[in-house]
Amino acid sequence: MDKGFFGWLNVLACLLIVLKTDGFYVDITYVQSAVAKGAVCLDGSPPAYHWDKGFGAGIDNWLVHIEGGGWCNNVTTCLARKNTRLGSSKQMVKQIAFSGLLSNKPQFNPDFYNWNRIKVRYCDGASFTGDVEAVDPATNLHFRGARIWHAVIDDLLAKGMRTAKNAILSGCSAGGLTSILHCDDFHSLLPATTKVKCLADAGYFINTKDLTGTQHIQEIYSDVVKTHGSAKNLPTSCTSRVAPSLCFFPQYAAQTIRTPLFILNAAYDSWQIKNILAPGVADPHGVWHSCKLDIKNCDSVQIKTMQGFRLEFLSTLQVLGSSPTRGMFINSCYAHCQSEMQETWLRDDSPVLDNKTIAKAIGDWYYDRSPFQKIDCPYPCDSSCHNRVFDQQEHPEL
Ligand SMILES: *[C@@H]1O[C@H](CO)[C@@H](O)[C@H](O)[C@H]1NC(C)=O
Ligand SMILES: *[C@@H]1O[C@H](CO)[C@@H](O)[C@H](O)[C@H]1NC(C)=O
C-alpha cells in the first residue's frame, strides 16, 4: 500500500504531465512502403504519422491533421533542419500527446473525439509540395514533400479511409497551409459519397511587406517553391491564374478551392508578426524584441503598426469573396495554432467569438448545424484571448 516518498513523487509528476497537456500519448507509425516510392524526409528517412483509431459511432470518420514547423527555403536552411525532427523521422519522438481537436474525450472534443485521428509529421520543409527527382550526393537532401503527401494518404486509404463517411483535412501553421494547398486533392482522393471539409489553423500567411517595406515573405516563399520544385504540385486552379510562387499564399490559392474550407487564425498571428511583419533582418536594433515576446510590451507606435497588419490581413480575406460554405474564426489575439491545445480549443476559459468556442464553431460548421464567419473587434477588446508570451531564453532567435 505504502508508495513511499518517491512513489508519490512519481504519481505527482504523472499528474502534472496529464494536467499540462490534458492529453494522452499516441505511438508513431513509420510509412516504410513510402521509401520505395522516393517519398522521404529531407534526409531520406521514411515519413511518419501518429494514429489513434476511431471507435463507436466515429469508426468511419477520419481527421487527418498536419504538423507545422515553418519552411526551409534553400540548401543552407534545409541542411540546417535535415538532422532535426523537422527533416528526419530518425529524430522524431516515438510518442506525442493528442489534445484539443485530437483529444479522445467527449468533454474535451465533443464532435471529433471518436473519429480516427491522425497527426502527420512534417519532415519535408515545404508544406508537402516538393518533388525534385535529383538528389545531390554532396548534401543528400531530398525535396519530396508532395510524394510524402501521396504516400501517407495512400497508406491511410488502405487502412480504412477508403470507406470514410466523414473526413477532415486539417493542420496547424505550415500544416495549416498544407490543408489549404492539398484540400481539393484530398477531396478528390476520397469517394464521392464522403463528406469532406478542410480546416486551416494559423495557415493563412499573408503576402505583405515587412517594417522596412521589403517583400520579405514573398522572397522566402519564392525560394521555397524554386528549391523544392513545388510549382507543379500547387493547385492548378491557382497556378493557371497567377505565378506559382504566389500560389503558396492562401490569399491567392484559397479563392478557387472548391471544397469547404474553415479559416481559423488570430488577426495578430504571433508567428506572422515575428517573421513576416517584424523579422530580425527588418529590425537590426531589436526595437521590436520585447514587443514580439509579449504583446503587452508593445508601445503605441508598434500597436498602431500591428493594427495596420490586421487591416491588411482582413483585406486579403475580403478578396477571397464570400462563400456560404466557408468558415471563419478570426480573433484578435496574439496567438498561433489554437486547435491543438486544449486551453484554446475547448475549456471554460477558452477564446470565444460571439460567445462560441473554436471547438463549437468548427463542429457546428462541419456538421452544417450553423455557419460561422466572424471577425473580432480590434485588440485589446477581446478578454477571452490566451495571448502567447514567449520566454526570451527559449527564443534567442528573436
Ligand atoms: C538562405 O536563406 C536564408 C534565410 O532566408 C538566408 O539568410 C540565406 O542568405 C540564404 N542562403 C543562400 C545561400 O541563399
Ligand atoms: C454565452 O454562453 C453562456 C453559456 O452557454 C450563456 O450562459 C451566456 O448567457 C451567453 N452570453 C451571451 C452574451 O450570449
Contact 207, 246 (CB under 8 A): yes
Cα of 355 vs centre of ligand 2, distance in Å, is: 6
- Residue 393 located in a structural domain: no
Residue of the CA atom closest to atom 9 of ligand 1: 76
Q: Tell whether the torsion through CA atoms of 136, 45, 232 and 248 is positive or negative.
A: negative
Residue among 73, 221, 281 to mutate when testing ligand 1 (max atoms within 8 A of CB)? 73
Whether 69 maps to a domain, the answer reads yes
For residue 219, the ligand 1 atom closest to its alpha carbon is 5
Q: Which residues contact 73 (CB under 8 A, 6 or more apart)?
A: 220, 221, 223, 224, 227
Average pLDDT over residues 91-104: 98
Q: Ligand 1 pocket, 74 CB below 6 A? A: yes
Residue 388: inside a domain:
no
Closest Cα to atom 3 of ligand 1:
77
Query: Could you report the per-residue pLDDT of 164-203, keeping only the tens digit for each?
Result: 999 999 999 999 999 999 999 999 999 999 999 999 999 9
| pLDDT mean over 203-232 | 98
Q: Does residue 105 form part of some domain? A: yes
Q: Which ligand is nearest to the CA of 348?
A: 2
Which residue has a Cα nearest atom 7 of ligand 1? 77
The number of folded domains in the chain is 1
Please indicate whether residue 269 is annotated as part of the active site: yes
Helix residue spans in 22-74 (DSSP H): none
Q: What's the average model confidence in pLDDT over 27-44? A: 98
Whose atoms come closest to the Cα of 214: which ligand? 1
Look up the pTM and report it: 0.93
Does residue 243 belong to any structural domain of this protein? yes
**237: in domain:** yes
Q: Of 74, 139, 215, which is best to mutate to test ligand 1, by the most ligand atoms within 8 angstroms of its C-beta?
A: 74
Does 11 map to a domain? Answer: no
What is the 146 CA–ligand 1 centroid distance (Å)? 23
Asked if the structure places residue 397 within a domain, the reply is no
Q: Using a 6 Å cutoff on CB, does residue 73 contact ligand 1?
A: yes
Q: Which ligand is nearest to the CA of 79?
A: 1
State if residue 217 touches ligand 1 by the CB under 6 angstroms criterion.
no
- Cβ atoms of 110 and 363 within 8 Å: the answer is yes
Ligand 1: distance of its center to the CA of 220 in Å?
Answer: 9
Return the ligand 1 atom nearest residue 73 CA.
2
Residue 173 falls in the annotated catalytic set: yes
- The verdict on the CB of residue 104 being under 6 Å from ligand 1 is no
The confidence score (pLDDT) of residue 395 equals 57
- Of 81, 68, 114, 127, nearest to 265 (Cα)? 68
Distance, in Å, from the CA atom of 369 to the CA atom of 381, rounded to the nearest integer, reads: 28
User: Which residue is associated with the grid cell 503605441?
Assistant: 300
- Residues 8-33, mean pLDDT to the nearest whole number: 71
Domain containing residue 250: 23-375
Is the CB of residue 214 below 6 angstroms from any atom belonging to ligand 1? no
pLDDT digits (tens, 9 = 90+) for 295-334: 999 999 999 999 999 999 999 999 998 899 999 999 999 9
The SS3 of residue 292 is helix
88, 170, 173, 270: the active-site residue: 173
CATH (domain of 67)? 3.40.50
In tens, the pLDDT along 36-83 reads 999 999 999 999 999 999 999 999 999 999 999 999 999 999 999 999
